[in-house]
């Protein structure tokens, strides 16, 4: 509760001080603002007031007919109040009411009838409370409501049919609640819905037909749940979808061709799952997708050319997985990629041509891997490269590192690692900065072969042996 009060105190102050001078309470004839001195809803108010704000006030109950003397009201807000109950009919008579907000209270439930006959209501915000469930009938008659925000509550269940009357709804926010399941028909009447946010609940499964009637969806937020699988045709009306958030779940795999047919998709998040592999064909052409993150999964390999349909991709994040190497074919089709993040993997080696299909690359992150050296000219095809991160690898500072060392010397301004790259081997160079070395320190160890003993028998004697010791020093 303390945290909630701090948040709303900040928001209240922000609201108060962000108002233009002519809109402050004393100067605005249509606004009434009540603070902590107010413990009951006043009956005598400015005759022309159309907006009431109860900010950090001490109102514990919103009774039936609370605003009966003020039928002209168009907006009512309760923010950071200790309100524990609201009676059915609290807003009765307010036929012009268009905006209600009840946020940061102690409400655990809202009875059916609270919003009855508010036929002109367009925006309803009931967030940051302690609501446990939503009953069917609660939103009946609210045919003009376009935005409904119910996030940051403790909602565990929603009765089927609860949203059926919200025919004009374009945005529904149910994020940060405690939903473990949703009915397949819960949103079936919301044909105009464009934004649906269900993030940070406890959902483990998304029913197959839940989005069947949502033909206008542009944004779906399912991130931060416990979803273990996604059904193949989960998004039947994908042609308008612009944002799809699937990160921070428990997904171990994805159906083949799951992301084919999303021509408008701009944002796709898949990080922080438990993906162990990806199908050979996963993506279709997404001409508006510029960023893709698969970081913090359990991936150790990729199908070749998996990203080739993503012609407009500029940022690709594959960090914090279990990759040991990459091939040039993994990055085929990514001619416009400018940033590649491969840090925190288990990469031990890369081929000289690994990045040759990335002509637009500006930033590459290879830090926190198991690289001991890199092949000659691995960065030569990258004419636009300007930021390179190579630290926290077990670099072997011997003759095999010479080519990388010379490249780093010649391109030191491009090395952005903090802390800088240091040697892991040999022992006498351990911990030394690579760029502080001289070329003659990068030597490979030499060995001295064991002595060779040759025995030659004397044909004139069965017993006499000539012993010849040949010592040969050879540079290995």
| pLDDT, tens only, 332-374 | 999 999 999 999 999 999 999 999 999 999 999 999 999 999 9
Give the SS3 label for residue 33.
Answer: strand
> Across residues 168-174, what is the average pLDDT?
99
Nearest to 47 by CA among 21, 24, 73: 73
Q: What local confidence, expressed as pLDDT, does residue 449 receive?
A: 55
The C-alpha angle 337, 388, 391, rounded to 5 degrees, equals 130
Torsion of CA 398, 402, 405, 409, to 10 degrees: 140
At residue 470, φ and ψ (nearest 5 deg) are: -115, 120
Per-residue confidence at 212, pLDDT binned at 50, 70, 90? very high
Contact indicator for 354, 378 with CB cutoff of 8 Å: yes
The tokens of 405 are what? 């060392």
- With a pLDDT cut of 90, the percent of the chain lying above it is 84
**What is the distance between the alpha carbons of residues 369 and 167, in angstroms, rounded to a whole number?**
53
For residues 284 and 47, the model is more confident at 284
Per-residue confidence at 40, pLDDT binned at 50, 70, 90? very high
**What is the distance between the alpha carbons of residues 305 and 292, in angstroms, rounded to a whole number?**
15
With residue 157 as reference, give the H or E element that holds it.
strand 157-158
**pLDDT at residue 16 greater than cutoff 70:** no
Q: CA–CA distance from 211 to each of 12, 185, 202, 471 (Å)?
A: 37, 9, 19, 82
Q: Classify the C-alpha dihedral 56-179-98-62 as positive or negative.
A: negative
Q: CA–CA distance from 464 to each of 103, 456, 459 (Å)?
A: 108, 9, 9
Using DSSP bridges, classify how beta strands 465-470 and 452-457 pair: parallel, antiparallel or unpaired: antiparallel
> Across residues 95-117, what is the average pLDDT?
98
Contact indicator for 409, 434 with CB cutoff of 8 Å: no
Per-residue confidence at 44, pLDDT binned at 50, 70, 90? low
Q: What is the DSSP string of 41-61?
A: --S---TT--EEEEES----E
Contact indicator for 27, 20 with CB cutoff of 8 Å: no
Q: What local confidence, expressed as pLDDT, does residue 446 receive?
A: 72
The tokens of 27 are what? 């100067």
> Across residues 259-271, what is the average pLDDT?
98
Q: What local confidence, expressed as pLDDT, does residue 73 receive?
A: 95
**What is the distance between the alpha carbons of residues 192 and 181, in angstroms, rounded to a whole number?**
23
Per-residue confidence at 3, pLDDT binned at 50, 70, 90? low
**pLDDT at residue 475 greater than cutoff 50:** no
With residue 408 as reference, give the H or E element that holds it.
helix 402-410
At residue 10, φ and ψ (nearest 5 deg) are: -65, -45
**What is the distance between the alpha carbons of residues 324 and 311, in angstroms, rounded to a whole number?**
25
- Cβ contacts of 10 within 8 Å, gap of 6 or more: none
Neighbours of 86 (CB within 10 A): 22
Q: What local confidence, expressed as pLDDT, does residue 28 receive?
A: 75
**What is the distance between the alpha carbons of residues 314 and 361, in angstroms, rounded to a whole number?**
9
Q: What local confidence, expressed as pLDDT, does residue 447 receive?
A: 58
Neighbours of 42 (CB within 10 A): 12
Per-residue confidence at 1, pLDDT binned at 50, 70, 90? very low
For residues 127 and 25, the model is more confident at 127
- With a pLDDT cut of 70, the percent of the chain lying above it is 88
Per-residue confidence at 210, pLDDT binned at 50, 70, 90? very high
> Across residues 289-312, what is the average pLDDT?
98
Nearest to 370 by CA among 390, 352, 356, 387: 390
Nearest to 312 by CA among 345, 269, 266: 266
**What is the distance between the alpha carbons of residues 109 and 135, in angstroms, rounded to a whole number?**
9
The tokens of 81 are what? 């109040």
Instruction: Give pTM, 2 decimals.
Output: 0.87
Q: Which domains does the chain have, with CATH numbers?
A: 263-447 (3.80.10.10)
The tokens of 402 are what? 């010479």
**What is the distance between the alpha carbons of residues 289 and 268, in angstroms, rounded to a whole number?**
8
- Cβ contacts of 199 within 8 Å, gap of 6 or more: 175, 176, 221, 222, 223, 224, 225, 245
At residue 433, φ and ψ (nearest 5 deg) are: -70, 135
- Cβ contacts of 295 within 8 Å, gap of 6 or more: 271, 272, 317, 318, 319, 320, 321, 341
> Across residues 449-461, what is the average pLDDT?
47
Per-residue confidence at 450, pLDDT binned at 50, 70, 90? low
Among 18-22, 341-345, 426-430, the range scoring the smallest mean pLDDT is 18-22
């Amino acid at each position: 509760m303390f945290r909630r009060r701090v948040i709303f105190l900040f928001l209240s102050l922000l609201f108060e001080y962000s108002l233009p001078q002519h809109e402050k309470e004393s100067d605005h004839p249509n606004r009434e603002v009540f603070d902590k001195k107010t413990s009951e809803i006043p009956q005598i108010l400015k005759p022309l007031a159309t907006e009431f704000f109860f900010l950090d006030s001490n109102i514990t109950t919103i009774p039936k007919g609370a605003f009966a003397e003020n039928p002209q009201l168009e907006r009512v807000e309760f923010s950071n109040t200790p309100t524990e109950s609201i009676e059915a009919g609290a807003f009765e008579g307010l036929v012009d009411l268009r905006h209600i907000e009840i946020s940061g209270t102690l409400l655990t439930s809202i009875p059916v009838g609270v919003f009855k006959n508010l036929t002109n209501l367009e925006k309803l915000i009931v967030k940051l409370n302690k609501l446990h469930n939503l009953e069917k009938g609660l939103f009946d008659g609210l045919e003009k409501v376009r935005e409904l925000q119910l996030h940051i509550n403790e909602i565990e269940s929603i009765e089927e049919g609860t949203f059926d009357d919200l025919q004009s709804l374009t945005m529904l926010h149910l994020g940060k609640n405690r939903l473990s399941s949703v009915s397949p028909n819960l949103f079936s009447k919301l044909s105009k819905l464009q934004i649906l946010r269900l993030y940070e609940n406890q959902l483990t499964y998304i029913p197959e037909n839940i989005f069947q009637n949502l033909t206008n969806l542009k944004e779906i937020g399912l991130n931060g749940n416990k979803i273990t699988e996604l059904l193949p045709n989960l998004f039947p009306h994908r042609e308008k979808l612009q944002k799809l958030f699937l990160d921070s779940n428990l997904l171990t795999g994805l159906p083949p061709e799951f992301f084919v047919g999303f021509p408008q998709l701009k944002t796709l998040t898949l990080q922080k799952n438990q993906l162990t592999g990806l199908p050979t064909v996963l993506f279709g052409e997404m001409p508006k997708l510029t960023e893709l993150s698969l970081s913090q999964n359990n991936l150790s390999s990729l199908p070749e050319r998996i990203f080739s349909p993503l012609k407009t991709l500029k940022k690709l994040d594959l960090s914090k997985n279990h990759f040991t190497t990459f091939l040039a074919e993994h990055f085929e089709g990514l001619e416009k990629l400018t940033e590649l993040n491969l840090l925190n993997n288990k990469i031990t080696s890369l081929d000289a041509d690994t990045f040759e299909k990335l002509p637009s690359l500006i930033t590459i992150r290879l830090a926190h891997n198991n690289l001991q050296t890199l092949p000659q000219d691995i960065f030569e095809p990258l004419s636009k490269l300007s930021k390179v991160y190579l630290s926290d690898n077990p670099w072997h500072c011997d003759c095999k590192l010479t080519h990388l060392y010379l490249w780093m010397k010649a391109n030191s301004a491009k090395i952005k690692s903090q802390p800088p790259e240091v040697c892991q081997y040999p022992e006498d160079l351990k911990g030394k900065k690579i760029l502080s070395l001289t070329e003659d320190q990068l030597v490979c160890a030499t060995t001295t072969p064991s002595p060779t003993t040759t025995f030659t028998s004397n044909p004139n004697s069965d017993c006499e042996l000539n012993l010849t010791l040949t010592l040969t020093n050879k540079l290995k």
